[in-house]
Amino acid sequence: MTEPPRPSRPAISCVVPAFNEAANLAPLLTGLTAQLAVLSERWEIIVIDDGSVDATPATIAPWLSRPGVRYVRLSRNFGKEAALTAGIDRADGEVVLLMDADLQHPASLVPEMLAAWVRGADMVCAARASRADETWAKRLGTAIFYALVNRNAAVPIPVDAGDFRLMDRKVVDALKSLPERNRFMKGLYAWVGFRNEIIPYVPAERHAGTTSFSMRRLARLAFTGVTAFTNAPLRLWSGVGVLIALGAIGLGFWFIFEYFVFGNNVPGWATLVTSVMFFSGVQLLSIGILGEYVGRIFDEVKQRPVYVVGSEAGRGAISGMTAGMTAAMAAAPTAAAMAAPGKPPA
């Protein structure tokens, strides 16, 4: 079935999660509003304040008097995945654009992403063309993460494709229907499917401030992604357990052979204590990995909300226009009434 042609100037919702980005919001909104105004007459920018403790509320306050800029402040810092979810839940556009607030995602790439959507792509994601600007430790960790999460994965996650992406309305609705609490958005983007197009880009330098994603937080997010979208850790340690068991059996046969053939004494306490400590460590590590999966099941069962909104401000240009158009259509006379004056409509 052929889809109808898509409009070249659709309603655009732009979701921008922000945590302590006061120094970046003004230049971001200046450039982004100018870019969106060129692309469409109906657009909105939804800034999700993820519990910032800097001057973010004061910085964005002057922008809230302008139609199209909305501000949602979460009650505390829930994390970027929750902030993205809050923005997606509130986006009203035909297409939804996700961008970071640090100006590393260039607004100049949005027209190319929109053109790909017009051609038929349901999701257009920007993937880093190079990681040369990152440390060797982060590059190594990224390579290990993608190797693990995509190992025998039913739904592979595109490598180096982050949150900078444009999505069709049906993709957004599919994401909103997912009830899980432990959200790894990169995996969810891939899981819902649809036609995806990747555009390589080189991220710009961070405009101001420092990133809030430390190596510890990145490692935690990566572990969430691995445990949420693959059983590879469980299978890995099952394989390790089999290898250790086979090795122990082989070593036992060797000791028996050595005793009867060479007359050597059975190894003493040093060997026994070392082997006990080694196997105990393997068992505890295996239990810890299993506990991570059980803990995530526990979080899902509690069914706590992904985020809690503290306050909202601003006006969305899309929802207002949509409501006005609906009211105008309801007030307008129907074709049947115009064709047959004096007769009630059918």
The predicted structure's pLDDT at residue 186: 81
112 sits in which H/E element: helix 110-118
Euclidean distance between CA atoms 180 and 184, whole angstroms: 10
Residue 326 corresponds to which tokens in the numbers above? 């609906």
The predicted structure's pLDDT at residue 159: 76
List of long-range contacts for 129-137, beta carbons under 8 Å, 24+ apart: 129/200, 129/201, 129/202, 130/202, 131/160, 133/203, 137/215
The predicted structure's pLDDT at residue 332: 36
Residue 11 corresponds to which tokens in the numbers above? 């309603």
**Strand extents, DSSP E, the chain:** 12-18, 43-49, 69-74, 95-98, 123-128, 161-168, 196-201, 309-314
Say if CB 99 and CB 164 are below 8 A apart: yes
DSSP 161: E
Domain 12-212+308-325 fold: Spore Coat Polysaccharide Biosynthesis Protein SpsA; Chain A (3.90.550)
Q: What are the residues facing 44 on neighbouring strands? A: 13
Q: What is the pLDDT along the chain (346 residues), one digit of tens a residue?
A: 567 788 888 888 999 998 888 888 888 888 888 888 888 888 889 999 988 888 888 888 888 888 888 899 999 888 888 899 899 988 888 899 998 888 888 888 889 989 898 888 888 888 877 666 666 777 777 777 776 666 656 677 777 777 888 999 989 999 888 887 777 788 788 888 888 888 888 777 765 656 555 566 666 666 665 666 666 666 666 667 767 767 777 776 776 776 677 666 655 655 665 677 677 777 777 777 777 777 777 777 777 788 888 888 877 667 544 433 333 333 333 333 333 333 333 3
Q: Which of 101, 95, 94, 47 is nearest to 74 (CA)?
A: 47
The predicted structure's pLDDT at residue 346: 34
Q: Which of 120, 106, 86, 110 is nearest to 17 (CA)?
A: 86
Could you tell me the residue ranges of all domains in the chain?
12-212+308-325, 232-302
Tokens 């980005």 correspond to: 21
Question: What is the DSSP annotation of 279-327?
Answer: HHHHHHHHHHHHHHHHHHHHHHHHT--S--EEEEEE--HHHHHHHHHHH
DSSP 247: H
Other Cβ atoms less than 10 A from the Cβ of 66: the count is 13
**With the C-alpha atoms ordered 338, 344, 345, 346, is the resulting torsion angle positive or negative?**
negative
Strand-pair category, 12-18 with 95-98 = parallel
pTM of the model: 0.68
The predicted structure's pLDDT at residue 96: 92
The predicted structure's pLDDT at residue 343: 36
Q: What are the residues facing 128 on neighbouring strands? A: 201
